[in-house]
Each structure stands twice: as C-alpha cells, then as structure tokens.
A = this chain, B = another copy of it.
Amino acid sequence: MKNRIITISRECGSGGRTVGRLLAERLNIPCYDQEIIERIAEKTGLAKEYVRETTEYMEHSGWLAGAFIPCDRSGHSMQGDLWSLQKRIIADLARKGPCVIVGRCADFILKDDADLLRVFIHADIDKRVQRVTEVYGEAEESNPRKFIISKDKRREAYYNYYTHQKWGSSDNYDISLNSGTLGIEGCVDILEKMY
C-alpha cells in the first residue's frame, strides 16, 4: 500500500514551511525539509548552504535558465547529479511511512509512488513582504520585495526545468491555500481536517 504523503510547495514568504512543520506536529508524523539537505550534504561532503541553494533554485531565472547550469565536457552537471540524489532520498523517505515534505519538487518526484496530497501555499506579495520583514528582520534583506521575487523566480526556474511542469499552476496541486487571508493556523486547520 502506498503511504499517505503531504507535499507542500510554497511561495517565498508565504509561511508554507511553517504550515508543514505545524501540520506534521498535529498529525504526529515527520516533516522532512532540513533533513533532506542534511542527507545530501552527508552523502556528497558538500556544505549544507550550498546544497540548500543548488537543490531548489536555479542560479538564473527565465526560459534560458537551463543554459546556465555549469556542465563538464560530457554534459554532466553537479546540479543534475544532486537532482538525481534528491529524488532517491525523497523516494526513500516516502517509503518509510506517512510524512510531510516541504518543497524540493516532492509533488512531482512522488506522483506515481505515494498517496499524495499536493498542497500549494501562497499569499499576495504585500503580505509576504510583511512576513519576511517580521520573521527574518529587516537586517536580513535590505529589499525584501526584490529578495522574494528573485527567490521565487529561481525556484520556479528549477521546478520547471526538472519537472517539465509549471510551478504554481493550480492543476499541479490538489489544494492551494492563501495564507495571507486564511492565516498560517487557518491553513493548518484545513489540512489537518482533510487528512
């Protein structure tokens, strides 16, 4: 039998990661996010910060983004290898039992191997700017709006390149929730009841 897995995709600043963590706590199942990065870092010897960036974000955005992935002469790229490793790790975690997985294209990676609830958390840009400023402090980013937009564009480029789907398009998800109007706790409530 396939395990019931909740995947959470999210816009930067929407609080999607927090929704995932709180939901997993309420359901008493694991939430994988940091752990995936740690496993990849452990297996490759690469720094966690580097792994975090390279396994969810393209260096550049836009339709030519894929052209900027550094490759060796045989066409092999570090990012491509990390994608393959990430896929294996996510598939392994999903086999262990029900869980929540935040980001990392898990909705795509597991589409045939799990009983998925694919969630997308979003909010309008003003609400996300407000949240990033409150949670991370103004010092973190001098221009949070620019930071958010750039981060989402690079995340979208990564998702679209590796999944051949369109990031954020509602048809890739079973449910999309506006955390800006429903609140983070409101989103967790809805998903808990659904599960």
The residues of A with any CB-CB pair to B shorter than 8 Å are 118, 120, 122-124, 168, 170-171, 173-178, 180-182, 190, 193-194
Contact = CB atoms under 8 A, between A and B. Distances in A.
So how many copies of this chain end up in the complex? 2
Q: What does DSSP make chain A's interface, helix, strand, loop or mixed?
A: mixed
Nearest to A178: B174
A115 B168 CA distance: 26
Q: Which of A171, A190, A193: most chain B Cβ within 10 A?
A: A171
Nearest to A181: B174
Contacts of A178: 170-171, 173-175
Q: Which of A170, A173, A181 has the most CB of B within 10 A?
A: A170
Residue from A118, A175, A177, A194 having most chain B Cβ neighbours under 10 A: A175
Contact of A182 (B170, B174, B181): B174
Nearest to A179: B174
A182 B175 contact: yes
A191 to B, nearest CB: 10
A171 B124 CA distance: 6
Given A190-B190, A190-B194, A193-B193, A120 B170 contact: yes
Contacts of A193: 190, 193
Contact of A174 (B118, B120, B171, B177): B177
A182 B173 CA distance: 10
Contacts of A171: 122-124, 178, 180
